[in-house]
């Protein structure tokens, strides 16, 4: 089956230089973008029920830009003035720079890793006397708190936002050759919106091992998987699949 239409379960890229647009042009594809999940913040009441005292935290571990947004949102809604002395430990450089939206970057103590929680362990240990807050979603990956606990980091979780399924009812009669997923939540959203979903000839692409496992656990067929040694990105994996299909 040749690939002509693709639905990517993420927002449309803001940059015109996205590799998805290059892929569409190169192979004359119709690529649509639609978030299968939305993030919504917990209420102030829900936050207070968690018995988290922001005033006792001296440092924050930030795993994403979303975590940054909701940490400062909750601080504002609870009238907590984030002290200038607060230390920020970010999962990546991109998350660290995103802090500029809320603080004067050069006047704060900000540390960052390369992309994984393991990259932060050494610097976290150097600040072992801090009381860390871990703002997170309701579906936080277990490896993050597990790594912190294994390394005896003094931290407290605070669920500040949750992932909910988007309403996809308008797609009921729309068929795509390939559906692209980046998280188990995306798979859950598909099946919540369409409980009678039958894969048939539709190809499913998944990014990351947890997403791939979610595909299989829901008795769906995994056709395209990234990252792979020869295809580190999703667009490269899709292109490889298209090329292999043309050889047959």
User: Matching CATH topology for 5-36+166-247 and 40-163?
Assistant: yes
In this structure, how many other beta carbons lie within 10 angstroms of the beta carbon of residue 141? Answer: 13
Domain at 5-36+166-247: CATH code:
3.40.50.10090
Cβ-contact 28, 101 below 8 angstroms: no
pLDDT over 70 (residue 19): yes
Residue 27, judged by CB atoms within 10 A of its CB (0-12, 13-18, 19+), counts as middle
Reported as a pLDDT band with limits 50, 70 and 90, residue 1 is low
CATH number for 40-163: choose from 3.40.50.620, 3.30.830.10, 3.40.50.10090, 3.90.470.20: 3.40.50.10090
243-246: long-range contacts at Cβ-Cβ below 8 A with a sequence spacing of 24 or more?
Answer: 245/1, 245/2, 245/3, 246/2
- 115-140 b/e with 16+ CB inside 10 Å = b? eebeebbeebeebeebebbbbbbeee
Cβ-contact 186, 211 below 8 angstroms: yes
Give the integer Cα–Cα distance in Å for 164 and 231. 30
Q: Residue range 119-141: average pLDDT?
A: 92
Give the integer Cα–Cα distance in Å for 32 and 9. 9
pLDDT over 90 (residue 246): no
In this structure, how many other beta carbons lie within 10 angstroms of the beta carbon of residue 24? Answer: 16
Q: Residue range 127-142: average pLDDT?
A: 91
What pLDDT does 141 receive? 78
pLDDT over 80 (residue 247): no
Give the integer Cα–Cα distance in Å for 226 and 209. 8
Give the integer Cα–Cα distance in Å for 136 and 68. 10
pTM of the complete model beyond 0.85: no
Domain ranges, ordered by start, for the chain: 5-36+166-247, 40-163
pLDDT over 90 (residue 245): no
Q: Residue range 183-206: average pLDDT?
A: 95
Give the integer Cα–Cα distance in Å for 117 and 124. 10
Q: Each residue of 46-95: pLDDT tens digit?
A: 999 999 999 999 999 999 999 999 999 999 999 999 999 999 999 999 99
Q: Each residue of 89-112: pLDDT tens digit?
A: 999 999 999 999 998 877 889 999
Cβ-contact 31, 242 below 8 angstroms: no
């Amino acid at each position: 089956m040749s690939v002509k239409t693709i639905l990517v379960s993420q927002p449309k890229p803001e940059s015109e230089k996205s590799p998805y647009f290059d892929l569409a042009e190169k192979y004359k594809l119709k690529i649509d973008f639609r978030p299968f999940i939305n993030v919504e913040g917990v209420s102030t009441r829900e936050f207070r029920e968690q018995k988290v005292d922001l005033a006792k935290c001296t440092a924050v571990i930030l795993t994403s830009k979303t975590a940054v947004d909701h940490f400062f949102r909750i601080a504002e809604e609870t009238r907590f003035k984030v002290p200038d002395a607060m230390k920020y430990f970010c999962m990546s450089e991109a998350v660290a720079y995103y802090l500029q939206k809320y603080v004067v970057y050069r006047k704060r103590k900000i540390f960052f890793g390369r992309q994984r929680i393991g990259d932060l362990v050494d610097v976290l240990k150097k600040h072992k006397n801090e009381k860390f807050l871990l703002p997170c979603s309701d579906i936080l990956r277990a490896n993050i708190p597990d790594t912190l606990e294994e390394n005896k980091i003094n931290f407290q979780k605070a669920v500040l936002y949750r992932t909910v399924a988007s309403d996809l009812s308008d797609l009921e009669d729309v068929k795509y050759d390939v559906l692209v997923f980046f998280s188990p939540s995306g798979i859950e959203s598909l099946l919540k919106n369409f409980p009678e979903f039958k894969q048939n000839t539709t190809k499913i692409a998944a990014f990351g091992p947890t997403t791939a496992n979610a595909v299989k656990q829901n008795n769906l067929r995994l056709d395209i998987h990234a990252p792979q040694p020869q295809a580190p990105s999703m667009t490269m994996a899709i292109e490889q699949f298209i090329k292999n299909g043309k050889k047959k």
